[in-house]
């Protein structure tokens, strides 16, 4: 039973007992006159109604606070309960809003550190794949070629096949290293990186195209990395889960020096499924640069991922959260 009904029923019991006492041993006349009973009953009803209305008004801030507690999500910050009235309820609401703001700040700080460590680990693994595994496989290719040139014809064919298998493995390792550490982003910039990333996901079953509007405002390197990672995660989700035949990546300028990223496909959509680690990771990255991230169904079906960011403050916010 809610607090409202507990207080209301307690008050109602007290009032009913008082009326019964007035109608029984504690009364102004014996026997009870009809007019007195009518007045007392009408007064009881009026008091109960007034009690219910006043309790509903007085406890409304608690109901709003409860709703905010239920729907609060640290990955979707900004939800606050309006502080109304005075006294303990107002203090409770203010304390909850302050606690929520503190939790959001701590979550952003911890996410910044975790994602910074993740990017460093990605760079380390990519470097080791390129330097260690890549060089080893390259040496194996040369040895296989050397052996194939001197082997008899039946063995030579097997060695040629081994060469092709090793070359395919080397290409796959290089592809993984590029996804772990987008060197093209550092060397050629976001535009070329997004086009190259989109081209990697293009297959015979999936048409992937990048549309980039020229004349975008300059973006900080940290902001470009977040845009790249969110586009990468969106394309990965489309390729793995969406059952789509078309995916588009749009990067365009928006009013007030903002930049918008849109990843849109014609797949089956996300429906009512719970958000997984991939979407949660995108929300955490968006929070780091103060970007607005929206994920939902497109106007013609499929899934749309929309990100809006202001380039001149995002890098400072990211560095502040990562400290």
pLDDT mean by block of 10 residues, the chain; 323 residues: 72 78 62 72 80 78 79 70 72 83 78 74 80 84 85 83 88 80 78 88 90 85 87 90 90 87 88 73 82 84 88 49 46
pLDDT of 23:
67
pLDDT of 323:
47
pLDDT of 305:
92
Assign domain 183-323 to its CATH architecture: 2-Layer Sandwich (3.30)
Which H or E run contains 41? helix 34-71
CA–CA dist 158, 110 (Å, integer): 53
CA-only gyration radius of the chain, Å? 33
CA–CA dist 192, 305 (Å, integer): 20
Q: For residues 164, 170, 172 and 175, what is the CA-based torsion angle, rounded to 10 degrees?
A: -140
Boundaries of every domain in the chain: 3-69, 183-323
pLDDT of 28:
56
Burial of 245 (0-12, 13-18, 19+ CB in 10 A): exposed
Sheet hosting strand 207-212, strand order edge to edge: 207-212, 246-254, 258-265, 303-310, 292-297
DSSP code at position 202: -
Within 10 angstroms of residue 53's Cβ, the number of other Cβ atoms is 10
Whether 265 and 315 have beta carbons less than 8 Å apart is answered as no
pLDDT of 320:
47
CA–CA dist 252, 150 (Å, integer): 57
């Amino acid at each position: 039973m809610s607090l409202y009904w507990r207080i209301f029923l307690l008050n109602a019991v007290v009032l009913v007992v008082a009326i019964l006492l007035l109608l029984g041993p504690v009364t102004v006349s014996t026997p009870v006159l009809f007019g007195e009973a009518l007045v007392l009953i009408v007064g009881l009803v009026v008091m109960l109604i007034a009690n219910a209305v006043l309790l509903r008004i007085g406890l409304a801030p608690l109901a709003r606070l409860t709703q905010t507690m239920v729907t609060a999500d640290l990955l979707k910050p900004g939800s606050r309960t309006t502080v109304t009235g005075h006294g303990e309820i107002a203090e409770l609401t203010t304390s909850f809003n302050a606690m929520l703001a503190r939790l959001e700040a701590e979550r952003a700080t911890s996410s910044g550190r975790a994602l910074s460590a993740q990017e460093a680990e990605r760079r380390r693994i990519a470097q080791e794949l390129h330097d260690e595994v890549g060089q080893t496989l390259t040496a194996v290719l040369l040895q296989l070629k050397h052996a194939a040139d001197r082997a008899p014809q039946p063995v030579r064919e097997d060695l040629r096949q081994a060469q092709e298998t090793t070359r395919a493995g080397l290409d796959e390792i290089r592809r993984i290293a590029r996804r772990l550490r987008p060197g093209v982003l550092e060397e050629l910039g976001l535009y070329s990186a997004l086009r190259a990333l989109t081209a990697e996901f293009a297959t015979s079953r999936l048409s992937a195209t990048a549309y980039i509007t020229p004349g975008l405002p300059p973006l900080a390197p940290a902001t470009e990395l977040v845009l790249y990672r969110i586009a990468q995660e969106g394309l990965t989700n489309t390729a793995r889960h969406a059952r789509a035949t078309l995916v588009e990546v749009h990067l365009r300028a928006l009013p007030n020096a903002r930049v918008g990223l849109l990843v849109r496909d014609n797949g089956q959509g996300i429906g009512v499924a719970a958000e997984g680690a991939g979407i949660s990771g995108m929300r955490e990255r968006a929070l780091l640069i103060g970007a607005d991230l929206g994920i939902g169904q497109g106007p013609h079906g499929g899934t749309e991922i929309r990100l809006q960011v202001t380039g001149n403050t995002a890098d400072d916010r990211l560095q502040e959260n990562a400290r």
